[in-house]
C-alpha cells in the first residue's frame, strides 16, 4: 500500500513542484482513501498517510 502510493507520487509528481501541489495531492489521497479504502479502518491508515507526507517533505529538501 505505502510503496504503491510512494511510487505513484514519485512517477507522476516528480516533474512538478511538490510544494505547489501538496494541498491538491493530499486532497486526492484523502479522496482515494475514502473511495477505495472505505471498507478498512481509516484510523489504521493514518500512519500510512503520515509516511507519505514525510516522504513528500524529504523530496522538498
pTM of the model: 0.23
Question: What's the pLDDT tens digit per position in 3-55?
Answer: 666 666 556 655 554 555 555 555 666 666 666 655 554 555 566 666 666 66
Within its chain, how far is the Cα of 7 from the centroid? 10
Q: List Cα–Cα distances, 55 to 14, 32, 41, in angstroms.
A: 12, 18, 22
| Nearest of 39, 16, 42 to residue 29 by alpha carbon | 42
Instruction: Give the gyration radius of the chain's Cα atoms.
Output: 11
| Nearest of 56, 61, 59 to residue 24 by alpha carbon | 56
CB 22 within 8 A of CB 59: no
58 has a pLDDT exceeding 60: yes
As for how many domains the chain has, the answer is 1
Residues spanned by the domain of 11: 2-60
Amino acid at each position: 500500500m505505502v510503496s504503491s502510493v510512494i511510487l505513484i507520487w514519485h512517477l507522476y509528481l516528480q516533474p512538478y513542484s511538490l510544494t505547489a501541489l501538496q494541498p491538491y495531492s493530499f486532497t486526492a489521497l484523502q479522496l482515494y482513501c475514502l473511495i477505495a479504502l472505505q471498507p478498512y479502518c481509516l484510523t489504521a491508515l493514518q500512519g500510512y498517510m503520515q509516511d507519505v507526507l514525510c516522504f513528500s517533505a524529504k523530496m522538498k529538501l
